[in-house]
Homo-oligomer: A and B are copies of this chain.
């Protein structure tokens, strides 16, 4: 079959705030090939990713993503890898291209799975999809009391793991941060898996991050995520050498497999976090899952948006039984909740399983999300390069 149409749907909440909550907007991608429809989702800044799809060519190594996708043959996973290689080459100088391509790539896997009636994880070579332990991913409260309350609510909601991130961490003293960590632990209870996300706050200041290690050990934090800029491998490695039981986690910003490998090899993280909406989709994420497993590093998805993105982000390590933890958007905005008609819900043990349905197994509730559609129009020299469409009723 051939890739016939690629449509982008930019969705947004009525109001977007500056909080670090990635579920406030979404860029869905709908691809049609051989009469089948697949869906994917790009990470962040929908307008910019749309522009990278339709932009006029600058030169041979700076072509829009569109040039390498529409009309291409799509019959097997090798076709997806082939298109990815063409984009890597032909859009080499277009920085945004990997984010745009990521959503398309997911949709192509969705189509391939539907074509053969298999879930994507089976196309990736896994015999079964292991259950994963979802952690509730939330922001720290402004005060320890607020964090305590959030943690208690998460525990009451039967989550066995939680990640607290951003907010005031690193903006005050190490003692201030320790109060926050203790509050999170207290609310979560002694047995909950506690994860801490510093949101790159220390840049590459190893001492500042190291000053938080005693408190992190005290509360038995399972990992410390992104203490530094995503590319500050030297700082990661220096902190990892002294962090002991508190392993480092990072990698979400990787927009190619090299960056993810380097986060492992140079940065010495214990957990490699891959965002399928950035690294180029499911294929390169699977490459990194294999790479991590070979090196004793634990693979984790990075997902802060919809259950479509969640399904895509779980596929690459679905069959890796020792890689148990998964990020699970616990309190996304209504928009992100409304995207999937059949969300991936926790079972009685608080665990989740990937759907056994064909493709990504997620049904897009186009009726529910129509109200979030953002109308975009891009024209160049009087020609319309992009105009938002309404959803096609199926």
Residues of A within 8 A of B (CB): 12, 16-22, 24-25, 43-48, 50-52, 54-64, 88-89, 92-96, 98-99, 199-200, 229, 231-234, 253, 255-256, 258-259, 262, 265-266, 278, 374-382, 385
C-alpha spacing A385/B376, complex, angstroms: 10
- Which chain B residue has the least Cβ–Cβ distance from A228? B258
Report chain B residues within 8 Å CB of A266. 262, 266
What are 29 A-B contacts with C-beta separation under 8 Å? A16-B57, A17-B59, A18-B57, A18-B60, A19-B59, A19-B60, A20-B61, A21-B59, A22-B62, A44-B58, A44-B94, A45-B55, A46-B56, A47-B51, A47-B55, A47-B380, A48-B48, A48-B51, A48-B96, A52-B96, A56-B374, A61-B199, A89-B200, A231-B259, A374-B381, A375-B379, A376-B378, A377-B379, A377-B380
Whether the Cβ atoms of B231 and A22 lie closer than 8 Å is: no
For the complex with contacts A22-B58, A25-B58, A45-B93, 7 further pairs of A-B residues with Cβ separation under 8 Å are A12-B56, A44-B93, A45-B52, A48-B55, A48-B94, A50-B51, A89-B200
The 6 closest A-B pairs by CB, nearest first: A231-B258, A51-B51, A18-B60, A47-B55, A96-B96, A44-B93
Q: Give bound CA distance, A234 to B243, whole Å.
A: 26
Cβ–Cβ contact B56 & A16, under 8 A? yes
Cα A60 to Cα B167 in complex, Å, equals 11
Other-chain residue from B12, B22, B61 in contact with A93 (beta carbon distance below 8 A): B22
Q: Report B-chain residues with C-beta under 8 Å of the C-beta of A54.
A: 47
A52/B48 in contact, CB under 8 A = yes
Q: Are B60 and A17 in contact (CB under 8 A)?
A: yes
- Contact partner, A96, options B62, B95, B265, Cβ 8 Å: B95
Q: A377 — which chain B residues lie within 8 A by C-beta?
A: 377-380
Residues of B within 8 A of A94 (CB): 44-45, 48
Nearest-CB distance from A266 to chain B (Å)? 6
Residue of B at shortest CB range from A226? B92
Q: A381 to B376, alpha carbons, bound, how many Å?
A: 6
Residue of B with least CB distance to A10: B380
Q: Are B200 and A229 in contact (CB under 8 A)?
A: no
Residue of B18, B56, B96, B376 near A380 (CB, 8 A) is B376
The answer to whether A18 touches B59, judged by C-beta atoms less than 8 angstroms apart, is yes
Return the chain B residue nearest A16 by Cβ. B57
A20 touches B256 (CB 8 A): no
A46 near B58: Cβ-Cβ < 8 Å: yes
* A18 to B, closest residue via Cβ: B60
Smallest CB gap from A54: residue in B:
B47
Of the listed residues A25, A92, A98, the one surrounded by the most CB atoms of chain B closer than 10 A to its CB is A92
Let me know if A63 and B262 touch, CB within 8 A: no
Q: Which of B47, B51, B95, B385 contacts A255 (CB 8 A)?
A: B95
The distance in angstroms between the C-alpha atoms of A140 and B195, with both chains bound, is 53
Q: Which B residues are in CB contact (< 8 Å) with A58? A: 16, 22, 24-25, 44-46
Scoring A22, A58, A232, A376 by chain B CB atoms within 10 A of each residue's CB, the highest score goes to A58
Give the chain B neighbours of A47 by CB distance below 8 A: 51, 54-56, 378, 380, 385
How distant is A294 from chain B, measured CB to nearest CB, in Å? 15
Can you name the residue of chain B whose Cβ is closest to the Cβ of A375? B381
Q: B59 near A24 (CB under 8 angstroms)?
A: yes
Closest to A20 in B: B60
Report Cα–Cα, A51/B55, bound state, in Å: 10
CB neighbours of A265 from chain B (8 A) = 234
Q: Using Cβ atoms and an 8 Å threshold, which residues of chain B touch A382?
A: 375
A22-B59 contact given A44-B93, A52-B96, A380-B376, CB 8 Å threshold: yes
Query: Max chain B CB contacts within 10 Å: which of A25, A44, A51?
Result: A51
CB distance from A230 to the nearest CB of B (A): 8
